[in-house]
Amino acid sequence: MKIKPSIAISDNGFLFDPGSGESYTTNAVAKEIIFMMKQNLSVEEIKKTLVEKYDVDEVTLEKNLIDFFAMLRHYNLCEACNP
């Protein structure tokens, strides 16, 4: 699962897709995930980082990540979209 290289995300979580002209706002955790994706971290590495940093169990995290990746696919923001 990789975010499209052309996608720009600012430090405050504003995301711009220059291909479609669409822009999105992300919350703090989504921004963090996208930054990790841009650094080419694998899904497993992203999960590990989030579990260590936040008070969340793996099942809840897994469920939320699946939803989040589905949203990225829906908005056509990722390459190799299947995790």
Partner 1 sequence: MSRQNIHIAVTGLNNTDNPGPGVPLIRGIRESADLNVRIIGLAYENLEPGIYMPEITDKSYLIPYPSSGTKVFLNRIMEIHEQERIDLIIPNFDAELYTFIKSEKLLAQQGVRTFLPTLEQLEERSKALLPAFGKKYGFKVPDSREIVNTQDIANLEDDFDYPVLVKGKFYDAYFAYNEEQVTSHFNKIVSKWGLPVIVQEYIKGTEVNVVALGDGTGRTVGAVSMRKQYITDKGKAWGGITIDDPRMMEITRDLIGKTKWRGGMELEMIRTSSSEYYLIEINPRIPAWVYLAVGAGQNLPEAMVKLAMGLDVPSMEKYQTGKMFIRYSWDMLGDISQFEKITMNGEL
The residue within the footprint of partner 1, chosen from 8, 66, 70, 71 (CB under 8 A), is 8
Q: Which listed range, 11-19, 26-34, 38-46, 61-69, lies at the site for partner 1 (CB under 8 A)?
A: 11-19
Measure the CA–CA gap between 59 and 28, rounded to whole angstroms.
Answer: 20
Q: Is 65 exposed, middle or buried (0-12, 13-18, 19+ CB in 10 A)?
A: middle
Measure the CA–CA gap between 64 and 27, rounded to whole angstroms.
Answer: 13
Residues 37-56 that bind partner 1 (CB under 8 A): none
Q: Which listed range, 16-24, 41-49, 51-59, 62-70, lies at the site for partner 1 (CB under 8 A)?
A: 16-24
Yes or no: say if 2 and 40 are a contact pair by the CB < 8 Å rule: yes
Measure the CA–CA gap between 82 and 30, rounded to whole angstroms.
Answer: 18
The residue within the footprint of partner 1, chosen from 1, 10, 12, 16 (CB under 8 A), is 16
The answer to whether 25 contacts partner 1 (rule: CB under 8 A) is: no
Give the residues lining the site for partner 1 (CB under 8 A).
6, 8, 16, 18-22
